């Protein structure tokens, strides 16, 4: 079988073979087998490079294993060319430095008839990218893994030094397995920065030895923080994949996570449960505490860049723009002059408070662009919310990822291009908070609030992966090399992205399945949180309306049945009162909703569908003793006989407004089940 694929620099963006599309690829000729003993060799003994070789060797071994189990026609089994024996990696510089000046360039070459794949790179990290590109060209073959082409020449390097993903662990905690899963996917996309937004309105998510009470209260549904050992593990795991970990501790706004330090003297602009902005007080109490924390954190995180946010501050109480400027400028100066780091902050650090120093890296995200930042002589990272914010789900396929193909250098003068470090995806977790922005004064719940509880960590991880990928692949390609001729909606691109996505899912990446739509709670229309199906004999009871309410469905004329199993109905015996149970559907189980009185009443238990007068019928009601749902003579003095139907969830909802001490706990709640 022959494949011909020839690309020039101008056409490379249509390549279905390597993602992100390389600067140059020339690939042609028939596919060629990898020998059963195919190996990867290198001239450097860097532990990180050797670990990468082992990872990619395992991927190739998995493809080999799948190939051995494939059934192909005899005529297609033999390749006319000798099998490839090994890949030779030549690295110019074997040190493990990771930073703004790290080189990621590489070359990959295969000549027809040769048994060796040659790759060379300036650094070990460029060598890792060469391995990634090579693996993407390897496919399952007839009895052996196959390189798609017998002639390959790739010359590649990124356009930008900063190709990042921000994860918001200051709202919903991202457990370590999720972080590592994301790092693996970042590596495959040749992305090199994990921006760890580590504190916000819900938590300070990193252990402090100086101030242990910052994380001591993170228990129950709020549980989750990184120990300092976790951080060291995260940095090492990321570094092994050529990825930097840049921390962000957001101040002075978005700082509710610092509330545990009020006893130490830290001050807020306001009082009450919703307080969230820190006050730069004249006595410098707030600054002194932040200085201690940041000094500790700057030692823990090894990267040269240290981000302190500085976004979305306001003027409130004693907090003026001047006090905010003073606090932010002192912190920027300390980071730069005392901690030996490069400060970073969101666009407000310069355009609002004006506190950003000349050396501060500024993230553009909403009202300002990278071009406006570089014009000031400062370095910029483009995080445009209209292109790279993934807080909300996108549409399925190209319609959802097209906006991610954006030239982050838009408007940047050629003389300032060296100040544009790169771009960044932002995966905020606002929509997963148990209350809106974790504000105890709020009563609204965002769409993904059920995934806030750490008992749902696995489902949360799958949800986050589905929200980022595959649309994040398009952003990664824009950060790697933007090309105006690339069409993110073309059939060729769509096929390439879905093939890449399928490959990464096979490697273990959490991503939205190809051709599907994913949101916070579902993938391909299936919920991440699977409701526990009730069974016969389960008892009806009441619970808050966010617990199990999707289990029920009714019509205005009856019967009431289970959405998950329509053979099971709400059942009662004519002689019983409490509790009602789940049993096989029978005529005597039929209930009718009276929209005029908002009651639900049932038959007389005779087995027929003939109903008595409403005043004589049995109505669904709630036991004041145990919260179980049962029957009561309609019209009796039972306030909880009023019910409504929630069409968005299919729930039967109690509408009682009775508020004495014994009943208020059950008012406004929904029918659910507990095992008998």
pLDDT beyond 90 at 495: yes
Rounded to the nearest integer, the mean pLDDT of the chain is 89
Residues 6+ apart with CB under 8 A from 454: 173, 175, 221, 223, 224
For residue 246, is pLDDT > 60? yes
CB 592 within 8 A of CB 579: no
Measured in degrees and rounded to the nearest 5, phi and psi for residue 229 equal -65, -40
Same domain, 279 and 419: yes
Least Cα distance to 463 among 526, 506, 548 occurs for 526
Whole-number Å distance between alpha carbons of 235 and 191: 15
Choose one of 501, 527, 553: the last residue of a domain.
527
Q: Residue 603 sits in a domain of what CATH number?
A: 2.80.10
Neighbouring CB atoms inside 10 A of 323's CB total 20
Per-residue confidence (pLDDT) for residue 648, from 0 to 100: 60
Query: What are the pLDDT digits (tens) for 291-302?
Result: 999 999 999 999
pLDDT per residue over 358-392, tens digit each?
999 999 999 999 999 999 999 999 999 999 999 99
Residues 205 and 309 both lie in one domain: yes
pTM of structure:
0.86
Distance of alpha carbon 378 from alpha carbon 416, whole angstroms: 9
Task: Give how far Cα 308 sits from Cα of 200, 384, 460, Å.
Answer: 11, 19, 26
601 touches 614 (CB < 8 A): yes
Q: Is residue 210 in some structural domain?
A: yes
CA gap 413, 242 in Å, rounded: 30
48-62, 559-573, 622-636: least confidently modelled range: 622-636
Q: How confident is the model at residue 557 (pLDDT cuts 50, 70, 90)?
A: low
Whether the CA torsion 359, 360, 363, 368 is positive or negative: it is negative
DSSP string, 57-68: HHHHHHHHHHHH
Q: Are residues 416 and 550 in the same domain?
A: no
Q: Is 533 contained in some domain?
A: no
- Would you place residue 664 in the very low, low, confident or very high pLDDT band (cuts 50, 70, 90)? very low
Rounded to an integer, what distance in angstroms lies between the CA atom of residue 483 and that of residue 475? 12
96-145 pLDDT, tens per residue?
Answer: 999 999 999 999 999 999 999 999 999 999 999 999 999 999 999 999 99
Which domain range does residue 144 map to? 2-156
DSSP 8-class letter at 237: H
**pLDDT of the residue at 614:** 45
Q: Looking at the predicted structure, is the pLDDT value of residue 208 above 80? A: yes
Both tokens of 288, joined, read 């002194």
- Out of 75-79, 408-412, 662-666, pick the least confident: 662-666
Digit-coded pLDDT (tens) for 174-190: 999 999 999 999 999 99
Domain shared by 494 and 591, yes or no: no
CA nearest to 244, candidates 236, 253, 252: 236
Q: What angle do CA 94, 98, 103 make, to 5 degrees?
A: 65
pLDDT for 537 equals 86
DSSP symbol at 393 = P
Please count the other Cβ atoms lying within 10 Å of the Cβ belonging to residue 549. 21
Residue 33 has pLDDT above 70, yes or no: yes
Structure tokens at 284: 């410098």
| Residue 73 reports pLDDT greater than 90 | no
**Torsion from C-alpha of 313, 314, 316, 321, nearest 10 degrees:** 90
User: What is residue 643's predicted lDDT score, i.e. its pLDDT?
Assistant: 79
Answer with the one of 96, 127, 156 that is the final residue of a domain: 156
> Quick one: what percent of the chain has pLDDT higher than 70?
87
Structural domains of the chain, count:
3
Q: What is the CATH classification number for the domain harbouring 30?
A: 3.30.379.10
> CB neighbours (10 Å) of residue 405?
21
Q: Which residue from 211, 221, 130 is spatially nearest to 171, judged by alpha carbons? A: 221
CA distances 274 to 197, 416, 479, Å, are: 20, 41, 38
Residue 609: pLDDT over 50: no
Tell whether 534 is covered by a domain. no
Give the model's pLDDT for residue 602: 75
Residue with tokens 């860049």: 305
CB 207 within 8 A of CB 249: no
Q: Tell whether the model's pLDDT for residue 347 goes beyond 70.
A: yes
The reply to whether 247 and 375 lie within a common domain is yes
Residues 283 and 210 placed together within one structural domain of the fold: yes
**Rounded to whole angstroms, how far apart are CA atoms 382 and 370?**
5
Quote the CA–CA distance of 142 and 145 in Å, as a whole number: 7
CATH number, domain of 273, equals 3.20.20.80
Same domain, 129 and 201: no
> Radius of gyration over alpha carbons of the chain, in Å?
30
- Quick one: tokens of 621? 């009601």
Question: Quick one: 403 and 332 in the same domain?
Answer: yes
Q: Please state, as a whole number, how many other Cβ atoms lie within 10 Å of the Cβ of residue 569.
A: 21
Cβ atoms of 548 and 541 closer than 8 Å: no
Q: Report the pLDDT value the prediction gives residue 80, as an integer from 0 to 100.
A: 75
Q: Which of 496, 527, 558 is the last residue of a domain?
A: 527
Confidence class of residue 428 from pLDDT cuts 50, 70 and 90? very high
Q: Mean pLDDT check: name the lowest of 40-44, 383-387, 566-570, 574-578.
A: 574-578
- Tell me, yes or no, whether 346 and 447 share the same domain: yes
3-state secondary structure of 307: strand
| 492 and 602 part of one domain | no
Question: Do 107 and 215 fall into the same domain?
Answer: no
Same-domain check for residues 166 and 141: no
């Amino acid at each position: 079988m022959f494949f011909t694929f020839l690309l020039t620099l101008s056409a490379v963006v249509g390549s279905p073979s390597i993602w992100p599309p390389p600067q140059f690829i020339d690939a042609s000729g028939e596919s060629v087998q990898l020998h059963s003993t195919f190996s990867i060799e290198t001239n450097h003994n860097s532990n990180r490079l050797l670990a990468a070789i082992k990872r990619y060797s395992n991927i190739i071994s998995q493809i080999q294993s799948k190939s051995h189990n494939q059934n192909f026609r005899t005529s297609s089994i033999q390749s006319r060319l000798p099998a490839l024996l090994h890949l030779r990696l030549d690295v110019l510089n074997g040190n493990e430095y990771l930073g703004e000046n790290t080189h990621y360039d590489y070359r990959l070459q295969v000549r027809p008839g040769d048994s060796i794949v040659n790759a060379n790179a300036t650094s070990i990290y460029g060598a890792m990218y060469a391995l990634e590109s090579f693996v993407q060209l390897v496919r399952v073959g007839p009895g052996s893994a196959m390189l798609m082409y017998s002639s390959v020449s790739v010359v590649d390097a990124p356009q930008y030094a900063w190709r990042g993903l921000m994860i918001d662990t200051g709202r919903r905690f991202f457990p370590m397995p999720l972080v590592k899963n994301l790092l693996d996917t970042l590596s495959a996309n040749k992305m090199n920065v994990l921006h760890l937004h580590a504190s916000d309105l819900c938590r300070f998510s990193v252990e402090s030895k100086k101030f242990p009470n910052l994380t001591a209260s993170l228990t129950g549904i709020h549980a989750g923080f990184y120990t300092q050992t976790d951080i060291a593990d995260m940095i090492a795991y990321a570094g092994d994949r050529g990825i930097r970990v840049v921390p962000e501790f957001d101040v002075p706004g978005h700082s509710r996570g610092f509330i545990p330090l009020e006893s130490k003297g830290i001050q807020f602009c306001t009082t009450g449960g919703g307080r969230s902005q820190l006050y730069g007080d004249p006595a410098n109490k707030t600054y002194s505490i932040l200085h201690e924390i940041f000094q500790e954190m700057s030692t823990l995180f090894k990267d040269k860049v240290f981000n302190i946010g500085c976004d979305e501050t306001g003027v409130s109480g004693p907090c003026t723009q001047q006090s905010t400027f003073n606090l932010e400028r002192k912190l920027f100066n300390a980071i730069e002059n005392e901690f030996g780091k490069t400060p970073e902050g969101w666009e407000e650090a310069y355009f609002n408070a004006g506190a950003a120093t000349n050396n501060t890296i500024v993230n553009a995200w909403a009202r300002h662009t990278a071009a406006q930042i570089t014009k000031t002589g400062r370095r910029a990272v483009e995080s445009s919310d209209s292109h790279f914010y993934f807080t909300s789900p996108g549409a399925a396929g190209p319609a959802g990822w097209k906006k991610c193909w954006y030239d982050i250098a838009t408007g940047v003068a050629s003389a300032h291009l060296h100040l544009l470090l790169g771009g960044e995806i932002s995966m905020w977790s606002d929509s997963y908070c148990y209350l809106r922005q974790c504000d105890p004064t709020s009563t609204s719940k965002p769409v993904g609030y059920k995934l806030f509880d750490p008992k749902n960590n696995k489902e949360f991880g799958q949800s986050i992966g589905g929200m980022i990928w595959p649309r994040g692949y398009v952003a990664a390609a824009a950060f790697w090399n933007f090309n105006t001729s690339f069409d993110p909606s073309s059939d060729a691109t769509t096929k390439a992205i879905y093939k890449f996505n399928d490959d990464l899912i096979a490697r273990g990446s959490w991503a939205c399945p190809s051709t599907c739509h994913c949101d916070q709670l579902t993938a391909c229309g299936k919920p991440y949180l699977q409701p526990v199906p009730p069974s016969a004999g389960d008892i009806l009871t009441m619970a808050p309306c966010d617990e199990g309410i999707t289990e029920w469905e009714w019509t205005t004329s009856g019967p009431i049945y289970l959405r998950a199993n329509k053979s099971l109905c709400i059942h009662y015996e004519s002689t019983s009162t409490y509790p009602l149970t789940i049993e096989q559907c029978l005529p005597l189980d039929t209930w009718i909703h009276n929209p005029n009185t908002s009651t639900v009443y049932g038959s007389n238990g005779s087995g027929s569908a003939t109903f008595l007068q409403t005043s004589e019928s049995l109505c669904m009601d709630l036991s004041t003793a145990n919260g179980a749902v049962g029957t009561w003579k309609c019209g009796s003095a039972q306030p909880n006989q009023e019910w409504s139907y929630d069409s968005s969830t299919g729930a039967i909802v109690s509408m009682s407004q009775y508020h004495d001490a014994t009943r208020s706990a059950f008012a406004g709640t929904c029918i659910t089940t507990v095992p008998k």
